[in-house]
Structure 1
C-alpha cells in the first residue's frame, strides 16, 4: 500500500432508517408512498428488515474489519404522535449504539435522514414556526438517552439535494408536476393546508427550505452541544465534483454558488462538513456536458477522483475538516464498484497527504435498499438482499473494500 490514512481514521458504512429498517409507518415518506398520485415508484414496505436484523448486520460490518457505522435514528419512531415519546424506540436505538461499541464500531448518528414524523410534515414541516424548536427537542432526547456514547452527529442529511437534482437535470421531466400533485393530495388526506417532506420539495420553495433547514441545523447543534460540548457535529451535503475545462469556469462557479456554497459557509461554525459524493460534473463554454467513457447507472462517467475533488472544494470553502459520510456507485455490475472503491480511496489518501483534513469514510451503503422515489431498483450496496427472504449476500466489492481498509489500517501513519 503506497498511500496512508491517519491512524485514528474512521472506516465504515452508512445506512438510513427509512431505507433499511422497514415499516416506518408514522413517517412522512411512508405517507407519501401511499398517497395517490405518488412520485414514489414503489413502497418501502418491510425495507431490509433492518430494525429486527440489526445485531446480525452489525456483525457483518465488524466482520469487514470496519470501525464505524453511520445510521439514523428515526424521529417518526421515537415521536410517532406529537408529544408522545416511545420509550421502546429509544431503547432500540440505545441497543444499536451499545451493539456498535461492543463490536468496536464508532456510532455516527444522523438525526434526520430525510424522513420525519407525518404529523410534523402535516403541520408545515420545516417551514412551521416551531420546526426548529421541535427538532432541537428531538435532538435533546436522543442526546440525553445515549449521546455520551456516540462518536459524531450529523444533524441533517443532504438539505441541498433538491437543488443538486434540479441543477443537474437528474429528475424525469414530469417529476416536478407529479411532486406538486402528490403533495397536494397528501395535504388533503392529512386534512391540512400543506404537506412537505425533506427530499420531495417543490422547486419554488427551495429558498424557503434552505433558510428553514439552516435555522433547524443550528438549533439542533445548540441542543447537542448543551448535552455534550465535545462531540463533533456537522451537516452532510450532496456534492458533485464540479470540474471546468477551458471556458467552463463561469458555469462551474454558478453551480457551486447555487448548490453548495451556502452550506459550506454554514459549516464554518461546525466541527466538520459531511461530504456525500457520487459523481463528477464537467463544465465547458456552453455549460455542463457529458464526456465519453464508461458510465455508472446514474448516467455519469465513472470518475474515481471525484471524491478527492469534492473533498478538496468542501474544505477549501468551509475551512473545517471533512467527513465522507457517503460515497459509492450505483451499478448492477459489481465489478465496476470493486474497481472503483480502491481507486477512489487511493486518490483520497493523496488528498489527505496534500493537507486536506478528513476524519473518516463511510461507504454508501452496506446493502441494497430502498432508494426513495426510485424504489428498490438502484443498486448501491456491498451486499445484495433477497426481497423475499431478506437474506444478505456479500458481493465481491465487499471483500475488496474490506481488503482495502485492512491495507490502509495496517499502514496507517
Structure 2
C-alpha cells in the first residue's frame, strides 16, 4: 500500500437518478413509467439522497475518504428547455460546499445517463444542437460552483451499450422490448423518436458514439472556458480482456469494438475514467468462461481485473487514470469485504510499476436503483431500508476504510 501517491483520491461514486429520488423531469423517469418498459421497476424515491445528502457525506467522511463523485442532474436544473432552476443550482452548490466542509473533494459527473425529458424527446444526443445544449448546461454549473470542484467527468459510460452487447449481458428479447418502449415513449411525448443514454437500439449505436464524442468535446471546452486548470475527462466501462494462447484476435476485436475509440479521444483529455467490474478471457475459439466463484453479473471474481483495465486504458490513452467506478454485485457482503482489499493491492502494484492513477472511487456508497434491473442488484457499502430509508454500513465499508487508513498512514506527508 506504500505505492499510492500522497495526493491520491480515495472516494465513493454515486449518481443522482439512482440515489436522489423524484427525478420526475428526466427521460429515465419517463421510460420507467412507459408501457411496455424494459425497466423492472420504477425508481420512485430511490434512496432519498436529495434530502439526506449531508448524512451520507458524514458516512463518507467517517470512512476516512477524501473524495465523493456525484452527478448534477440536468433534468432538475433545466426541467423545460430554456427554463433554468436557480433553486436546483442552489441545491447542488450546497452538496459541493458540504463535501468541502468535511474535507472531501467534489468530483462532478455532468451527465450520468439521465437527461431532461424534453432533450430526449427532441432527438437526444442525435439532435444537431445536442452538443451545444449540453455545453450550456456545463457552463451554468461551472459558473455556479466550478471554482470548488476537484475534477469533472463529462459523460458516464458512453460505451455501455457496446460492452453489454459484446459481452452478451442482455437476452435477445431485450432489444425488442427496448424498441417497443422507445416507440411508446415517443408516442407519449408526441415526437417521432425517443432515446436515452443507456437505452440505445443496436442500429444507431454508431450515430450515438459520434454524438457523444461531439458532446464530450463541447462540454470539455465549456468547462475549461470557465476554469482551465480543472482536470476533465470521460468515464468508460472497461473490462480486463485477457488473451489465452490463440485468443489475441478475439481479445483485440473486443477492445476495438468497445473501448479504443474513447481511449483515443481521451488522448486530448486530462485523464481517462475507468469503470471496471469484470475480466473476460479469450482463446482461439472465442470467450472462455472459467470455473470459480461468480458475482451477481455472472462473472468470475477476479480482483486483478481492475489493474488490468487500468493498465490498458493508460497504454492506449497515454493520460493518467481515475478509477471512477469499481465494485462487485453480490448479496454476500463477505465477498465484497475480501474483494476490495485484494483489488486495491493489485492497483498499488500497478502504480508501483509506473501507471499513473489519480484516485479510486468505489461503486457505490449505498445499494440503489440499478437502472433496468431495479433495486435487486446489491453493490453498496451501505444497505438502505426500502421503507424507512435508514442506512446501515456493511462490513465491506469497514474493510475499505481499513485499506484507506493504512495507505494514508504510510504516506510520508501524513
Does the TM-score normalized on the shorter chain lie above 0.5?
yes
1:230 deviates by: 0.0
What secondary structure is seen at the aligned counterpart in 1 of 2:172? coil
User: Could you tell me which residue of structure 1 aligns to residue 11 of structure 2?
Assistant: 12
CA shift digits 1:239-297 (9 cap, x unpaired): 00000100100000000000000000000000000000001000111111110011111
What secondary structure is seen at the aligned counterpart in 1 of 2:12? strand
Q: After TM superposition, which residue ranges in structure 1, 4 or more long, deviate above 4 angstroms?
A: none
1:173 deviates by: 2.3
- Aligned 8 A contact 1:155 1:217 in 2: yes
- Aligned 8 A contact 1:158 1:237 in 2: yes
User: Could you tell me which residue of structure 1 aligns to residue 25 of structure 2?
Assistant: 26
1:72 aligns with 2:100: no
1:325 aligns with 2:330: no
What secondary structure is seen at the aligned counterpart in 2 of 1:193? coil
User: Could you tell me which residue of structure 1 aligns to residue 266 of structure 2?
Assistant: 267
- Aligned 8 A contact 1:3 1:346 in 2: no
> Which 5+ residue runs of structure 1 have no aligned equivalent?
none
CA shift digits 1:367-410 (9 cap, x unpaired): 00000000000000000000000000010000000001100111
User: Could you tell me which residue of structure 2 aligns to residue 365 of structure 1?
Assistant: 364
User: Could you tell me which residue of structure 2 aligns to residue 345 of structure 1?
Assistant: 344
User: Could you tell me which residue of structure 2 aligns to residue 233 of structure 1?
Assistant: 232
1:65 deviates by: 0.3
1:7-406 paired onto structure 2 within 5 Å: 7-406=6-405
- Aligned 8 A contact 1:3 1:350 in 2: no
1:71 deviates by: 0.1
> What is the alpha-carbon distance in structure 1 between the residues aligned to residue 13 and residue 232 of structure 2?
16
> What is the alpha-carbon distance in structure 2 between the residues aligned to residue 171 and residue 411 of structure 1?
44
- Aligned 8 A contact 1:38 1:182 in 2: yes
User: Could you tell me which residue of structure 2 aligns to residue 409 of structure 1?
Assistant: 408
- Aligned 8 A contact 1:334 1:397 in 2: yes
Structure 1 length-normalised TM: 0.99
- Aligned 8 A contact 1:69 1:107 in 2: yes
1:412 deviates by: 2.4
> What is the alpha-carbon distance in structure 1 between the residues aligned to residue 175 and residue 360 of structure 2?
33
- Kindly report the root-mean-square deviation, in angstroms, between the aligned alpha carbons of the 2 structures: 0.6
- Aligned 8 A contact 1:4 1:411 in 2: no
> What is the alpha-carbon distance in structure 1 between the residues aligned to residue 238 and residue 382 of structure 2?
25
- Aligned 8 A contact 1:328 1:341 in 2: yes
1:92 deviates by: 0.2
> What is the alpha-carbon distance in structure 1 between the residues aligned to residue 260 and residue 409 of structure 2?
36
> Which 5+ residue runs of structure 2 have no aligned equivalent?
none
CA shift digits 1:123-179 (9 cap, x unpaired): 000000000000000000000000000000000000000000000000122100000
What secondary structure is seen at the aligned counterpart in 1 of 2:177? helix
CA shift digits 1:6-42 (9 cap, x unpaired): 0000000000000000010000000000000000000
1:4 deviates by: 2.6
> What is the alpha-carbon distance in structure 2 between the residues aligned to residue 367 and residue 3 of structure 1?
28
CA shift digits 1:93-139 (9 cap, x unpaired): 00000000000000000000000000000000000000000000000
> What is the alpha-carbon distance in structure 2 between the residues aligned to residue 321 and residue 342 of structure 1?
22
What secondary structure is seen at the aligned counterpart in 2 of 1:342? helix
1:59 deviates by: 0.4
